[in-house]
Chains A and B, each alone.
Chain A
């Protein structure tokens, strides 16, 4: 009766860890692939100016993806993040510029609403998909009330921040690095971050250890609200004016970014760095790549969807082979 005999058929930790490492490098690989494709199609795009232009909208997408990632970390899904970003954009382009105090109060209040949604979903045990789908219409309606027709103007200080031109490295890349590292530290390295992720892994275990699952869920949703607000503000800083429908596509992009970045819908398996890489990949694949491939704008949205399916399918295939 040797140990080996009994442990024999069980998987070894070493090979599983290697597979996980490979999976973790997938987001970086897919980003590299898209960049190489762009470089091949149009070598001139690979420059300081080119990246500034191509990654112009990557930062708001990355922030929205991070927001979605916090929700997914707790085994929930937020279908309202896109219209929420649009609502924040409308508030930013109007009240935040004209009456900054009121604007700031509204934005803080909307983070509070997100926190309350987390509490509601936990306390009443509601499916988050239903609650956030309903909220997506609420945010959309509010956005139209705030800004019935496209217009408004970004506050000057905001335009100045997103217009910042650091030496050598384009701003979107610097910002993406900062976002990825800050969130990575917060979620993957702090002691409460472990609790937040644990709530997706085994909520019952957290409850038995005496942690408040209500507090965890509220925290995750409040963080989603915070990053949604940041996403809407940077989006307006870049586009300089608001539109109630400006963020509608972000819901899908944010979910796809999390999954492309190595996250999983359930189990608390998320990666902030991966999510940011996923968002950058999607931002590049969405428009610049298609333009360089000379696909007419009418077909770009459909092509976008197909790229998304192909990329995600590839990820699933590769992950399965590794696992």
Chain B
């Protein structure tokens, strides 16, 4: 590390503030040539800010960025590209209306003039063939026609294409999140080849196994700082989790709710997915927490929406016996009203109770909001502030407050903990269990297996059908995964 030539990137005391939030709080960080760095940390630890700083999309407030030993004064996206630093962002950076080849052209200013389309097509096809043999993607495919997994393959392959600028370092942020096990393996094998060729890579992943197996060195971030750096061989899973810090006790709630064995209360929900072809059905009684598991997009959300639609109406294949409220997972598009205050956002599900005459009573609205602000711990000086003044986790709490503050006895949750920090999660888990003890019923679709520990019963979905019903005692991660993946290809 003493030879500056060997450094691709060196950050000294880099700071970045967003208002009062110190996203980066003096980060020292080095990437050497020919190594793969695993970058881990909880939400809000500063990983993505660090990555945006390296990619040049965010300018640091303080500190020094040196690339290959030379200090960069005016570091920018264009400069980063010239120096061979690329980034694959977690939210996809493809233009959905353009073809694969045209999207490749966007990253290469030199792909122009006569025959640019042919050259772009050859470039991306060659890289796709190299990383994902048998990918089945044509360079003339329009991105919006591709599945999310293939889009991610295109995005990753594009980052590794080279024209006139060099390629030194590729930052991969959750590159396997939409890939299946096979293609994820192809990608990680390619990363190892890439690194063996003397290039560098930063791998960010929430799958710790991926990090432990593929990184040479692991950097753990916490609270906007690098908390720990060590060779990957020196880590194992517990040490890594430990280093990520004050996550509270990662003790599953098993013991807590297991006190149950509860005799079933009155029936709340009985529902069969439309595509169910045997007689399995989802059943929920009063006071139960029911988990909906399986791979993302296998019909869990559809069933929740069907139950929501069926509330208060008689349907042959569904029985819903109490008022329903929904907690959206994609809070930006389905959850919050961005123009409204926190209290309005909370009160919207309970307008009937907040009325005085034909008008909404601002006092009652504020009262309800204040009650839930205290109960659920929404961190804001004033519930009359705009909802967007809250952090993502606190916005999600406001959505929980909206549902729990209503008269609903059945709460549907559509993977609501996406992108929420661990502290908020633990608080909300406690609240859910408490509300369940008070007789509320929760239907909880989650993509995080750990969360299933809170449930009394778990239904695993595959291809729009319930394929397994696991009671608390028989619930293990292996069983969920085993049921989520089919043994034989569906015809």
Interface residues of A (CB under 8 A from B): 1-13, 16-17, 20, 189-192, 194-195, 197-198, 200-202, 204-211, 267-269
Contacts and interface: CB of A to CB of B under 8 A. Distances in A.
Given A202-B96, A204-B93, A267-B97, A13 B150 contact: yes
Interface string B40-77: 00000000000000010100000000000000000011
B264 interface: no
A135 B11 CA distance: 49
Chain A contact residues: helix, strand, loop or mixed: helix
A206 B95 contact: yes
A24 to B, nearest CB: 11
A189 B117 contact: yes
Contacts of B93: 202, 204-205, 208-209
Nearest to A202: B95
A194 B102 contact: yes
A10 B489 contact: no
A208 B55 contact: yes
B463 A9 contact: yes
Nearest to B482: A1
A209 B77 contact: yes
Interface string B123-153: 0000000000000011001101111111000
A20 B96 CA distance: 13
B81 interface: yes
Contacts, number: 122
Interface stretch (B107-115, B192-200, B376-384): B107-115
A7 B183 CA distance: 11
A192 B295 CA distance: 40
Which of A10, A12, A191 has most B Cβ within 10 Å? A191
A272 B154 CA distance: 27
Nearest to A3: B182
Which of B98, B105, B485 has most A Cβ within 10 Å? B98
B463 A7 contact: no
Nearest to B81: A210
8 contacts: A2-B489, A5-B488, A10-B149, A191-B111, A200-B97, A208-B55, A210-B81, A268-B97
B164 to A, nearest CB: 13
Given A190-B112, A205-B106, 7 more contacts: A2-B486, A3-B183, A5-B489, A8-B490, A9-B297, A194-B102, A268-B95
A209 B78 CA distance: 8
A208 B97 contact: no
Interface of B: 55, 57, 76-78, 81, 87, 89, 92-98, 102-103, 105-107, 109, 111-113, 116-117, 137-138, 141-142, 144-150, 180-183, 295, 297-298, 463-464, 485-486, 488-490
A261 B154 CA distance: 30
Given A13-B145, A267-B96, A1 B490 contact: no
B489 A20 contact: no
Contacts of B180: 1, 3, 6-7
B485 A197 contact: no
Contacts of B137: 13
Contact of A210 (B78, B98, B464): B78
A208 B57 contact: yes
Given A206-B95, A209-B77, A198 B145 contact: no
B485 A6 contact: yes
Contacts of B87: 208
B149 A4 contact: no
